[in-house]
Amino acid sequence: MFSFCLLQILTLPSECLNRNRDSSDQATFFQSSTVQFCIFQRSIRQMKRMENVSRSPWISLTTSTIQGLSTIHAYDKRQQYIELFKVLSDTNSNHFLLFNCGTRWLSFWLDFLSATVTLTVALFVVLSPNETINPSLKGLALSYTIQLTGMLQFVVRLSTEVEAKFTSVERLLEYITVCVSEGPRSIKEANIPKSWPQEGSITFKNYSMRYRDNTPIVLNKLNINIKPREKVGIVGRTGSGKSSLGVALFRLAEAAEGTIVIDGMDVNKLGLKDLRSKLSVIPQDPVLFIGTVRYNLDPFNNYKDEQLWQALEKTYMKDTIAKLPEKLESPVVENGENFSVGERQLMCMARALLRNSKIILLDEATASIDSETDSMIQQTIRDAFQHCTVLTIAHRINTVLESDRILVMDQGKAVEFDRPQDLMQRPNSLFASLLAAANHVNT
């Protein structure tokens, strides 16, 4: 703390440190107070900044611990998280205590300054003759001087604390100016037809992508042509770039090179809202929002109850929702915790069925569903999405054997792209080796 204050003194502007040696003692006292206030302003900002920064990990740990409480108990990691919580809490408390001590330090010096001024005025009032100054004016001056103690401390402390708490605004401004934002939501010059996409053809032209600057390429010069209404299974080992294809299709990350063309339109020239509203995705991690079952299926109230029940029936969730007391108006808690993971996945699939998009992306959509339900869902996908282009990122390779073509990814490249029957008959086929390994694990 002393070294920090010394650093602040050394970096003070010259006008705060220059003193007039020939000035009176009162001027020297006030100049000293000004120097101390300059030190306080710089110090209190840094203390509040450190307190804000140290608070974020503490709150993040608390939130993640509450959400993963069952996992912590299962692995008996309670003591480890308690110790980590104590460390982060102590770190934040240290900075918070420094901030409060700094404000109390200012309060002491303001009280001392006010008491000194009050004493000076009081001595002047007592020692000065009444012929020089009217006694009523002396009382008025003394009254105002006493009020100065509270007013001065209130105004100065309020102004300095507001300045210190504006470090939060400073962080927000940094996020706004430094972080790279997504593309525009809509582009008027794009001239998108209302019925786009009509066919659902997708073409990757020399496409490369990385998630952030100075990070490795995750998709490397892809040249793929997916025909309209074609069912494509995407397979590959972990880290091969399967899910990155979905990221690229929805423009969650911008292209490093090349482009994606959907029904003759370059997606890089479209607004994000115009693009993403025309596509549907059934994610690997099912997402439900706080609200009702109806809100999660149809957030914009575009469909009737009969259509909602039809979508739930196709995904085998009709009986489950019908048994709830309020049916479609039944509440959904945060992250859909009152439904199992499989039920959440089925509701996400029902949501995609309602939108009836021409392009559907299934990112390991049946990973949390048992084999019997999985087979029924696959039949539903074949029936409900027969007029759509379906890209299925496979969790179980056997689920994509009936696809029109199989895309095999490896290290961000498309190494094989052909019918599954042809790939299985090829010697040294990577798809055949993956299928053999999956069958070996199942047996």
The answer, yes or no, to whether residue 389 has pLDDT greater than 70, is yes
Contacts of 324 (CB under 8 A, 6+ apart): 293, 330
Model pLDDT, residue 368? 57
The answer, yes or no, to whether residue 79 has pLDDT greater than 60, is yes
CA dist 154 → 46, 100, 121, 166, 325 (Å) = 21, 15, 21, 18, 57
Phi-psi domain of 263 (left: phi exceeds 0; alpha: psi -120 through 50; beta: other): left
Lowest mean pLDDT among 31-35, 146-150, 427-431: 31-35
List the one residue out of 288, 245, 255 whose CA is nearest residue 392. Answer: 245
The answer, yes or no, to whether residue 418 has pLDDT greater than 60, is yes
What confidence tier does 333 reach under pLDDT thresholds 50, 70, 90? confident
The answer, yes or no, to whether residue 154 has pLDDT greater than 60, is yes
List the one residue out of 364, 313, 368, 314 whose CA is nearest residue 340. Answer: 368
What confidence tier does 259 reach under pLDDT thresholds 50, 70, 90? very high
The answer, yes or no, to whether residue 29 has pLDDT greater than 50, is no
Model pLDDT, residue 364? 67
3 state SS of 227: coil
Model pLDDT, residue 37? 58
Query: Six-digit token pair at 422?
Result: 């042809």
When pLDDT is averaged across residues 359-371 and rounded to a whole number, the result is: 71
The answer, yes or no, to whether residue 193 has pLDDT greater than 50, is yes
The answer, yes or no, to whether residue 210 has pLDDT greater than 80, is yes
Model pLDDT, residue 88? 92
Written as one letter, the residue type at 102 is G
What is the pTM (predicted TM-score) of this model? 0.65
**401-414: b (≥16 Cβ within 10 Å) or e:** eebebbbbbeebeb
Residue-range domain boundaries for the chain:
2-176, 232-237+269-442
What confidence tier does 16 reach under pLDDT thresholds 50, 70, 90? very low
The answer, yes or no, to whether residue 17 has pLDDT greater than 90, is no
The answer, yes or no, to whether residue 116 has pLDDT greater than 50, is yes
Model pLDDT, residue 226? 92
Model pLDDT, residue 19? 39
In the chain, helix, strand, coil percent, each to 5? 55, 15, 30
Model pLDDT, residue 225? 92
The answer, yes or no, to whether residue 118 has pLDDT greater than 70, is yes
Model pLDDT, residue 366? 59
Mean pLDDT score across all residues of the chain: 80
CATH of domain 2-176: 1.20.1560.10
Written as one letter, the residue type at 421 is Q
Model pLDDT, residue 7? 31
What confidence tier does 208 reach under pLDDT thresholds 50, 70, 90? very high
State which H helix or E strand residue 206 sits in: strand 202-209
List the one residue out of 358, 217, 381, 365 whose CA is nearest residue 275. Answer: 358
CA distance 176 to 170: 10
The residue with greater pLDDT, 179 or 414, is: 414
Residue matched to tokens 């087979």: 375
The answer, yes or no, to whether residue 8 has pLDDT greater than 80, is no
CATH top-level class of 232-237+269-442: alpha beta
CA distance 105 to 99: 10
Quick count: other Cβ atoms within 10 Å of Cβ 344? Answer: 21
The residue with greater pLDDT, 369 or 199, is: 199
Half-sphere exposure of 239 (CA within 13 A, CB side): 3
CA distance 91 to 391: 48
Model pLDDT, residue 367? 58
Burial of 202 per CB tally in 10 Å (0-12, 13-18, 19+): buried
> How close are the terminal C-alpha atoms of the chain, in Å?
66
The residue with greater pLDDT, 29 or 76, is: 76
User: What percentage of residues in the chain have a pLDDT greater than 70?
Assistant: 86
Model pLDDT, residue 373? 65
The answer, yes or no, to whether residue 9 has pLDDT greater than 70, is no
What confidence tier does 385 reach under pLDDT thresholds 50, 70, 90? confident
Q: 79-85: list long-range contacts, CB under 8 Å, 24+ apart.
A: 85/58, 85/61
The answer, yes or no, to whether residue 11 has pLDDT greater than 60, is no
Q: What is the pLDDT of residues 267-299, one digit of tens each?
A: 988 888 888 888 888 877 778 888 899 998 988
**Is the previous residue joined to 197 through a cis bond, with omega within 30 degrees of 0?**
yes
CA distance 50 to 353: 49
Model pLDDT, residue 36? 57
The answer, yes or no, to whether residue 12 has pLDDT greater than 80, is no
CA distance 148 to 118: 9
The residue with greater pLDDT, 18 or 390, is: 390
